[in-house]
Structure 1
Amino acid sequence: MYKPIYLFISLRYLWNIHLPIFKKLTIILSITSIAISIASLIIIMSIINGFEENFKKNILSFVPHLIVTNKNNYINKSEFPKNILNLYSFQKFSEFINHEVILKTKNNISIGEIIGVDNISDKNINQYNIKNISNILYPNKYNTIIGLELAKKLNIHIGDQIKLISFSNKKSFFLKNNVTVKTFKVIDFFYTKNEIDYYQILINKEDSLNLLNFSKDYITGWRVWFKNPLSLDINQIKKLINGFVLLDWKSQKGELFKEMIIEKYIMFFLFILILIVSIFNIFISLTIYTIEKKNSIAILQSQGLANWKIILIFVIIGSSTAVIGNIFGTIISIILIQEKYFLKSLISIFFGEIDFFVIISLYQVLFVNIASILVTSLATLYPALNSIKSNPAKILSNE
């Protein structure tokens, strides 16, 4: 005799060669729909994980997570708020000097942003992929390195002279704003594959002080980086630091991040709908199955099979469908993710040429599979409970 008997019966009901073609087709469609929904969820979440990682690496590595300054963007170095060092996810900070300027060449004019660079105090210059920067941006030499895309836009070449026009926020006695014009020589370009290539201009920190008419001990403010910028709470920091103007990365890139999150939830919702349809399919199939097998259920009850074992029969049928679908879906998703070129060509059919990164999270894969199996198992409870409500004597009276 097969033991446990309820497991043997459930697997027999799930699939055997004597099942009608319609039944086999229904089971295959249920497994296929679950597999598609699981594979789609894992692939979409992995792509979004890649977008988030790329967002942190290529955007938030250049954009400071928090800027600490004042209303005039002109502050003494000694006023640094040391309380910020006690924040849980604090990573590093650096002084910075930046300002919007007008960039003028012989034939073109544009708006740019100067960045005062000091190789000793500012380690973030490594992100610009510039070698030997300390040897080419000497103080008082008025040399500059500009973004490659900005150079293309203004038709600037290495060795060209450009004029930087600054409107200082410092008030003078005679004029409302000080206007300073300095001529700089372009000695190199930087290319980061980031939007800063379109507007940033690197100059020596001392030259930036001269251009902005800043005193030696004054700066624009401080840039602060955190270990987990995506969970940065600006309101909490404002309670800790008073008397400063605080700008987090969301003020510059928040809309892009919000769009990414919205797309994530929309895609998640769409594929959850596919999973719900699959669950309803299993629910309806099991309900019909219990009606068709009412005589068999009555016989099992009359033979002394416990009700909870009968319930387990139908729960195992539904759960087995979910488990098989989850296994196939997970395998398919991993294969597609590993075959990046195939996945890119497949996505390009619908969205055109697009570059993306894929990062699989084991915790997300486990969560999706466990949640799918649990929800599907819960959906089998109603038809399973309904199967034991019938009266065996009444059903078998005409047999």
Structure 2
Amino acid sequence: MYKPISLFIAFRYLWNVRLPTFKKIITILSVIGISISTASLIIIISMMNGSEENFKKNILSFTPHLIITNESQYIKKSDFPKKILKLNNIEKISDFIRKEVIVKSKSNITTAEIIGIDSTNYYNVNNYNIKNILHVLQPGYCNIIIGDQLAKKLNVYIGDKIKLILLSYKNIFFSKKNLNPQIFKIISIFSTHNEVDYYQILMNKEDSLNFLNYSKNYITGWRVWLKNPFFLDVFQIKKIADKFVLLDWKTQKSELFKAIKIEKYIMLFLFLLILLVAILNIFIILNIYILDKKNDVAILKTQGLSFWKTMLIFIIFGSGTAIIGNMLGTMISITLILQNNFLKFFINIFFDDIDMKIVLIPSQVFLINFMFTLFAIFATFYSSWKTIQFKPAKILDNE
């Protein structure tokens, strides 16, 4: 006798060479459906992970995760709230100089943002891809580095000079007292393929202090870089620095952050739909098999098969389809992600010039498979419970 009997019978129902062609097709289609659902979900979530990585690299590498300042954006260095250093999510803190200015060249005029840098800003300035940037921007020479898109707008090149005009907001009228024009020389142009290329101007911190007429040991504020910017708790920091103004990256990039959140909610909704379709598929197939095999179930009961072993047959049968489909879908998705040239080629058919990064996280793959298998087992309980309601004498009455 085959043992365990429930497992043997379940596998016989799941697949054997004597199964009718129609039943084989149903089983194959159910496995394929779950495989496609699992593979598509893993690939979509991996693409979302890649989007988040690109967001962190291209946006959050230049945008401070948190800015600590006051209402006037003019603060003394010694006023720094040191208790913030005790927070676990803090990676780097540096003071900074920042101010919006009017930029005038021979052919055009626009607004921009000056950033004063020195050795304390080393964590951030590396992202501009300029060698020896701190050595190039020596204090006292009035040299600047601007973004390539800003240079195109102003129609200027390396070696050209532009005029920076500081506009005071204390008076809404333009007058010579409010303007502080100064000539600066462009010694380099950076290109980050980021939005900062359109408006940022880098200069030495001492030059920026002189240009802005800042007193010694006064700054605009502090830039805070986090280990994980998506887990920024502004309210926790606000308790520590309640006398300061906090500007987090979510506020500065609110529209983009909302778009990412909406995308996540859509993906969650899609996951629930895919899961629901897979569960309904298993539920329908299992009910068809139970109705088809009710005579066999009745005979097994008359032979002394217990209620829970009868249920176990169809639980194994239903969950076996899900497990096989999950394994197959997982292998397909991992293969496609590792050989991502095919996925990129397929994406570029519909969207031109998109460099989509795909990041596979093993814990997410495990969670998807676990959730599919768990809900598939739950989906078999009702149908399997119906089998123990069969009355063998009634079913076999006309046999």
TM-score (norm 1): 0.95
Who is 2:372 aligned against? 372
Greater Cα shift, 28-37 or 267-276: 267-276
**Is 2:163 aligned against 1:163?**
yes
Residue 286 of structure 1: aligned partner: 286
> Residue type of the partner of 2:389?
K
Report the Cα offset of residue 52 of structure 1. 1.0
Q: Does the 8 A contact of 1:73 with 1:220 survive in 2?
A: yes
Summarize the alignment of residues 215-254 of structure 1 with structure 2, pairs less than 5 Å apart: 215-254=215-254
**Relative to structure 1, is the Cα distance of residues 286 and 121 closer, same or farther in structure 2, using a 3 angstrom cutoff?**
closer
Query: Following TM superposition, by how much is the alpha carbon of 1:124 offset from its aligned partner in structure 2, in angstroms?
Result: 2.3
Maintained 8 Å contact 1:33/1:275: no
Partner in structure 2 of residue 29 of structure 1: 29
Amino acid at match of 1:341: N
SS state at 2:253 partner: helix
Which digits, 9 at most, give the CA deviation of each residue in 1:176-208, with x for residues without a partner?
A: 973211100101011122111111001111111
Percent identity among equivalent residues? 59
Partner of 2:301: 301
Change (3 A) 1:122 1:286: closer
Structure 1 equivalent of residue 64 of structure 2: 64
- Kindly indicate whether the alpha-carbon contact (under 8 Å) linking 2:94 and 2:120 is maintained by their aligned counterparts in 1: no
Query: Counterpart in 1 of 2:49?
Result: 49
Q: Map 1:197-208 to 2 at 5 A.
A: 197-208=197-208
| Worse overlay, 370-379 or 135-144 | 135-144
Instruction: Identify the residue that residue 346 of structure 1 maps to in structure 2.
Output: 346
Aligned-partner SS, 1:61: coil
1:373–1:121 Cα change, 3 Å: closer
Q: Which moved further from structure 2: 221-230 or 15-24?
A: 15-24
8 Å contact from structure 1 (residues 93, 224) kept in 2: yes
**Residue number in structure 1 paired with 2:319:** 319
- Hey, what does 1:196 align to over in structure 2? 196
Q: Is the 8 A contact 2:191 2:197 kept in 1?
A: yes
In the aligned structure 2, how far is the partner of 1:194 from the partner of 1:221? Answer: 23
Deviation at 1:21, TM superposition (A): 2.2
Is the CA contact (8 Å cut-off) linking 2:95 and 2:221 kept in structure 1?
Answer: yes
Per-residue CA deviations over 1:292-336 (Å, capped at 9, x if unaligned) read 211111110111111111101100111110011001110110111
Task: Return the offset for 1:100.
Answer: 0.5
TM-score, with length taken from structure 2: 0.95
Amino acid aligned to 1:21: T
Partners in 1 of 2:177 and 2:258 — Cα distance? Answer: 37
Is the counterpart of residue 38 in structure 1 residue 28 in structure 2?
no
- Contact 2:96 / 2:121 at 8 angstroms: preserved in 1? no
Unaligned runs of 5+ in 2: none
CA RMSD of aligned residues (A): 1.8
CA contact (8 A) 2:297 2:387 kept: yes
Q: Is the 8 A contact 1:167 1:177 kept in 2?
A: no
- CA distance in structure 2 between the partners assigned to 1:295 and 1:351 by the alignment: 55
